[in-house]
Structure 1
């Protein structure tokens, strides 16, 4: 019993569900992580394809899980002035990072990975929660027609 006294004991319970905004943040940080992997792969001259699992039924009627590659489209583009711009997308819509600003302009492609990491940390800290809620609401509204 003396070994337990060296630990800080508490009466804690595991939460049964994650708050909705945290689920949305997690979804967006997963997507931005894929963008970071894609940018790093392109910088090193390689390719990146995310994996996903799909359950299929064979001709015999057996169910089988198959691993497939999922195409990851880059969120960055070159604007009219030749600068690289990065937009953060929730679903297919770019979210506003500031008032009427939907992209980050970069000086060169070398800044891309660091910019994506900064955006990921901002999302994790909850700085874009209002914009995530707006984007989520517009996406959800399209399903209720």
Structure 2
């Protein structure tokens, strides 16, 4: 009797499929957690930076791994005598309530409470439809293509 005869072999294909709704929700939650760090740095009057690794060529022509700092852009800004807080999915702004894209608060200290509410809503799945609407790709039509299609 060989050593492999003791094992129970089966054929299987590994499933890498993940629910896209949960993937989008996790991406938004990760972004909101990072924005909480940006907010904490803003309260101290600093920029939040993330360390990033890049491959570059040095003077000898060798590829070396270099660590650099990247500034994280905040999802909140000061305007109109107060602060606007936006919720983003990637580079796109989410219309969290369906029509408006920002929440207005009077002071920077109130921004943290709005971020917490966005995070709670994202974890509960309340923003799933808004994320799906924001994440869907719109077809790119070249200028003049619609006119040419209607004439043909």
TM-score bracket for this pair, using the shorter chain length? 0.7 to 0.9
User: Does the aligned pair in 1 maintain the 2:49–2:71 contact within 8 Å?
Assistant: yes
1:62, distance to aligned residue in structure 2 (A): 5.2
Structure 1: distance between partners of 2:61 and 2:25: 39
Determine the structure 1 residue equivalent to 2:31.
31
Equivalent runs, 1:87-126 vs 2, <5 Å = 87-126=86-125
User: Does the aligned pair in 1 maintain the 2:84–2:105 contact within 8 Å?
Assistant: yes
Determine the structure 1 residue equivalent to 2:50.
50
Change over 3 Å in CA distance of 1:37–1:60 after alignment to 2: same
Runs of 4+ in structure 1 deviating by more than 4 angstroms, as ranges, are: 57-63
- The Cα offsets for residues 62-104 of structure 1, whole Å up to 9 and x where unpaired, read as 5543322222111112333x12110111122211111311111
Report which of the two structures shows the higher radius of gyration computed on alpha carbons.
Answer: 2
User: Does the aligned pair in 2 maintain the 1:34–1:50 contact within 8 Å?
Assistant: no
User: Does the aligned pair in 1 maintain the 2:76–2:83 contact within 8 Å?
Assistant: yes
Determine the structure 1 residue equivalent to 2:85.
86
Structure 2: distance between partners of 1:141 and 1:57: 38
What runs of 5+ residues in structure 2 fail to find an aligned partner?
1-14, 143-152
1:118, distance to aligned residue in structure 2 (A): 1.6
What runs of 5+ residues in structure 1 fail to find an aligned partner?
1-14
User: Does the aligned pair in 1 maintain the 2:57–2:63 contact within 8 Å?
Assistant: yes
Structure 2: distance between partners of 1:21 and 1:96: 17
Determine the structure 2 residue equivalent to 1:22.
22
CA RMSD of aligned residues (A): 2.5
1:21, distance to aligned residue in structure 2 (A): 1.6
